[in-house]
Structure 1
């Protein structure tokens, strides 16, 4: 199974006064990471998708489990797999680790829509095929 991954440092701006990652900042990090997956993993840059083609990929559902504290300057490794591809949605599983220890796990459901109408759009065949590269094998979808 292919896993899309990136490593990022927890910065001062991500932390509270104790130097521990403030959980809402993780959601911003995940948004950046998913944008990287679309651009680098799928080949569909957000600028082209959103600005040029007037399509959007809003998050419609998130679940998060925070397992261990992340601290300023920890290196987090994010790993993404696709667990399901629907007609106009994709389910993602993201895990973040530091030093081999879990920090958090999140699941996301992202939709594909036309910005002008706000209506869902089916994934184009080329985008669906690119997503399938990251699809977890049957039985590993949770």
Structure 2
């Protein structure tokens, strides 16, 4: 799969859509004392959903209504610095790159020591009844830009 964001874009550039501040929790770390790798994907998801809510997208209503759905079709993360219990972090949601029926969201996790992780997720807009791709609705497109 061709990456929508390069590693350099994720580390340095790309305007932010939102930022979520949090701490690495005790239950987020593994026996080595560093963040258990899927937790970073959870951080991405939490920040993405918060960003949509802040921009007026009713994700629970979208799911319940069934008209459109936005399933995740690809996720990736690169781990650059260790994250440890108690670390204060910022999870940045970068402005998505939009296609006709899909979009790619970039993420950056930073600590006082610098960029700790970067990643991206690809979401496809589908018709909820037929599970076939459909164009992004104008209101969703507006919320993502």
Q: TM class, shorter-chain normalised?
A: 0.7 to 0.9
Deviations 1:108-135 (A, max 9, x none): 2111112221111211112112212xxx
Residue number among 26, 29, 32 corresponding to 2:40 in the alignment: 26
Q: Is the 8 A contact 1:12 1:19 kept in 2?
A: no
Q: Which runs of 4+ in 1 moved over 4 A?
A: none
Pairing of 1:96-115 with structure 2 (within 5 A): 96-115=109-128
Give, in angstroms, the shift of residue 83 of structure 1: 4.2
1:79 and 2:88 are equivalent in the alignment: no
Partner of 1:10: 24
SS at match of 2:52: helix
Q: Which moved more, 1:7-16 or 1:80-89?
A: 80-89
Pairing of 1:117-128 with structure 2 (within 5 A): 117-128=130-141
Give, in angstroms, the shift of residue 53 of structure 1: 4.1
CA distance, structure 1, for counterparts of residue 130 and residue 124 of structure 2 = 14
Q: Is the 8 A contact 1:7 1:76 kept in 2?
A: yes
TM-score, structure 1 normalization = 0.83
TM-score, structure 2 normalization = 0.82
Pairing of 1:63-78 with structure 2 (within 5 A): 63-78=76-91
How many residues align? The count is 131
1:43 and 2:56 are equivalent in the alignment: yes
CA distance, structure 1, for counterparts of residue 113 and residue 56 of structure 2 = 29
Q: Which runs of 5+ in 1 are unaligned?
A: 133-142
Residue number among 40, 45, 59 corresponding to 2:72 in the alignment: 59
Q: Which runs of 5+ in 2 are unaligned?
A: 1-14
CA distance, structure 1, for counterparts of residue 100 and residue 71 of structure 2 = 15
